[in-house]
Structure 1
Amino acid sequence: MSEFRIGERLIGREAPPFIIAEMSGNHNQSLERAFAIVEAAAAAGAHAIKLQTYTADTMTLDLDEGEFHVSDPNSLWQGTSLYRLYEQAYTPWEWHEPLFARAAELGLLAFSTPFDASAVDFLERLSVPAYKIASFENTDLPLIARVAATGKPLIISTGMASIAELDAAVTTARQAGCQDLVLLKCTSTYPASAADSHLRTLPHLRDLFGCEVGLSDHTGGIGAAVAAVALGATVIEKHFTLDRADGGVDAAFSLEPDELRSLVTETERAWQALGGIRYGVQAAERPSLQFRRSLYVVKDLGAGEILTPGHVRSIRPGLGLAPAHLDEVIGRRARQAIPRGTPLAWSLLQ
């Protein structure tokens, strides 16, 4: 069994999917907005709020040339430098503790993605219940080892990683002490297309590494997440904002509150619908048996009269003999007078 708990929350196929609302940079450098995002996530029914813990200086160099300048015309962040992007997106470290406290008041689990060892040290002082490794860091084996050494549950996004790279990440995590692991299928484009999601990877990922699996989803809407649950995802992570129209570094691929509420509802409904392998009549279906077809007398019969095709039809409701017996009853004699509208039974026939 690969299931485990984050706080009091069970992570595994015997529980509804664990829904993480990723704040990322959607606070737009406003602590008041950050609090509002936490509160909206709780009101929408999310199970956890996640931050990202870094500074521009722990991520990159303050340069705006060559590879340090975002020049891809298809990027949401084209025209800026990596350093300025991270300055805009980062969550001030002094915000973490009050945001985590507010989440706890609202019944939300709260944790973060660290991007270097100093962030792990900081988050350990805040007693986070779990850690997340971002896709771009899934080849940073020293960071994975440092996080795994805490012994806390570890969630790793798999974006862009080959099987060999994932094997190295998982092996490193386990050797460093990680017992509870989730691998999130992820497409590292922002936003991502449904066609690039390849959710059929999920059961293969679970079989390969013997751990829980989920989806870090950058597509629009909730369709991919619901499909992922049907394929075995037990964790769903989506970026979350108050209103995409407010802008921000991640707003374009983030859910709004009503969408997050739908995500929580529909992924749990998908999980409930999976059930097990089942045939035959379920307890809830028993009242519906009456709506099957069965054999009824549709023309008055006298005692001793021979049944013809004109006397018997297969109709609803289902209180008579099964339609399969039609050929067996034709040609038999009525044991007694049988009025039209009587469900046919063997006891009525000679």
Structure 2
Amino acid sequence: MREIRIGERMIGDNHVPFIIAEMSGNHNGDIRRALELVKAASDAGAHALKLQTYTADTITLNHTGGLFDITDIHSLWYRKNLHQLYQEAHTPWDWHKEIFDYANSLGMIAFSSPFDESAVDFLMNLDVPAFKIASFESNHFPLLKKVAQTGKPILISSGTSKLNELYESVKYLKDNGAREIVIFKCTSTYPATPENTNLNTIPVFQSIFEDCVIGLSDHTMGIGASVAAVALGARVIEKHFTLRRSDGGVDSAFSLEPEELKALVNETETAFLALGRVQLDTQKSEEKSRQFKRSIYVSKDIKAGETLTVDNIRVVRPGDGLEPKYYDEILGKKVKIDVKFGTPLTLETLI
């Protein structure tokens, strides 16, 4: 059984899905909005709030040209360079404690994704209960080593990684002391489409990373992919969220609104509970309903010695008569006694 603990919450195969609300840059540079997002996530029932801890300078160079420029016209961040994007999207480090404290006061677990070693030190000083490794950082071995050596639970996304690369990163985490790991199936397109989400990867991940909990970092619109992921074994779901997509922001286009986040919490729990166990027989809860199955009833008065025909017996509800599998067998047989309309037929009635 795969199981880990983050804070006071157990996460794993036999526990309801752990829902992480990812704030990212949807605070739009306003601490008051950031705190509104925390409250909205709590009201929606999210179990955890996650930030991203970086500055533009800790994640890239202030440089233009080549891959530093975002030239894909389909990108949400077209015509920015990386430094501009991260300058706009980052969460100021001096906000972290207030945000974390507020989330904790509302009963949520709060943690972050560090993007360099200095962010790990900063977050350790805030006593975060876990670390998330973003998809684009999964090959950042100095960061992986630093995080692993903290001994905290680690969540790592698979986006952009080939299997051998992901396997190597997870092994490196373990070799450096990590013991509790969540691996997210993730598609690093923004937004992701259902067609490129490939949730059937989840049980394959479970078979490869046997001692890890598997989750989904979901960049699709809506909650359908996340609910389906739970049915396939995911026990942690991470989704970006905002107050209103119409408010704009770097991640708003593929973020959930509060009502949708609440639906995500409810529907993933429903999906988990509905999985239940393997059930091959009638359940105790169904016993009373068996009376509404069909059985053979007398549909006209029949005198003793008369023959059963298609005109005087029928297969109807309720289910306290002879089972319908005997129908063809008893046609043409005679009854021992008078049988009135509406009587359930039994073998003892027949000659």
The TM-score with structure 1 as length reference comes to 0.97
**1:230 offset after TM fit, Å?**
1.1
**Alignment partner of 1:287: what SS?**
helix
Amino acid at match of 1:291: F
Cα deviation, 1:119-146, whole Å, max 9, x if unaligned, reads 0011111111111000000111221121
**1:70 offset after TM fit, Å?**
1.7
2:340 is aligned to: 339
Whole-Å Cα distance in 2 between the matches of residues 305 and 68 of structure 1? 93
CA contact (8 A) 1:303 1:335 kept: yes
Amino acid at match of 2:234: A
**1:201 offset after TM fit, Å?**
0.6
Amino acid at match of 1:96: H
Quote the sequence identity (%): 55
Whole-Å Cα distance in 2 between the matches of residues 7 and 338 of structure 1? 70
Q: Structure 1: where are the runs of 5+ without partners? A: none
Q: Which moved more, 1:296-305 or 1:21-30?
A: 296-305
CA contact (8 A) 2:4 2:213 kept: no
Q: Which moved more, 1:35-44 or 1:270-279?
A: 270-279
Whole-Å Cα distance in 2 between the matches of residues 178 and 234 of structure 1? 19
2:27 is aligned to: 27
1:268 is aligned to: 269
Cα deviation, 1:209-240, whole Å, max 9, x if unaligned, reads 11211111111111111111111111110101
Cα deviation, 1:69-119, whole Å, max 9, x if unaligned, reads 222212111111211111111111111111111111111110000001110
**1:332 offset after TM fit, Å?**
3.1
1:58 is aligned to: 58
1:329 is aligned to: 330
2:226 is aligned to: 225
1:315 is aligned to: 316
2:107 is aligned to: 107
1:117 is aligned to: 117
CA contact (8 A) 1:332 1:349 kept: yes
CA contact (8 A) 2:240 2:256 kept: yes
1:1-350 correspondence to structure 2 within 5 Å: 1-210=1-210, 211-350=212-351
**Alignment partner of 1:57: what SS?**
helix
Amino acid at match of 1:103: A
**Alignment partner of 2:5: what SS?**
strand
Whole-Å Cα distance in 2 between the matches of residues 321 and 17 of structure 1? 46
Whole-Å Cα distance in 1 between the matches of residues 339 and 9 of structure 2? 62
CA contact (8 A) 1:2 1:180 kept: no
Cα deviation, 1:172-202, whole Å, max 9, x if unaligned, reads 1111111111110111111111111111111
Amino acid at match of 1:36: E
Q: Which moved more, 1:166-175 or 1:310-319?
A: 310-319
Whole-Å Cα distance in 1 between the matches of residues 348 and 94 of structure 2? 83
Whole-Å Cα distance in 2 between the matches of residues 345 and 171 of structure 1? 67
**1:14 offset after TM fit, Å?**
0.7
**1:306 offset after TM fit, Å?**
2.9
Q: Which moved more, 1:256-265 or 1:296-305?
A: 296-305
Whole-Å Cα distance in 2 between the matches of residues 10 and 337 of structure 1? 66
Whole-Å Cα distance in 2 between the matches of residues 128 and 81 of structure 1? 31
**1:65 offset after TM fit, Å?**
2.9
Whole-Å Cα distance in 1 between the matches of residues 66 and 307 of structure 2? 96
**Alignment partner of 1:21: what SS?**
strand
CA contact (8 A) 1:302 1:334 kept: yes
Amino acid at match of 2:124: E
**1:308 offset after TM fit, Å?**
2.7
Cα deviation, 1:266-293, whole Å, max 9, x if unaligned, reads 1111111112221221122222212211
Whole-Å Cα distance in 2 between the matches of residues 184 and 5 of structure 1? 16
CA contact (8 A) 2:2 2:13 kept: no
Q: Structure 2: where are the runs of 5+ without partners? A: none
Whole-Å Cα distance in 1 between the matches of residues 102 and 67 of structure 2? 39
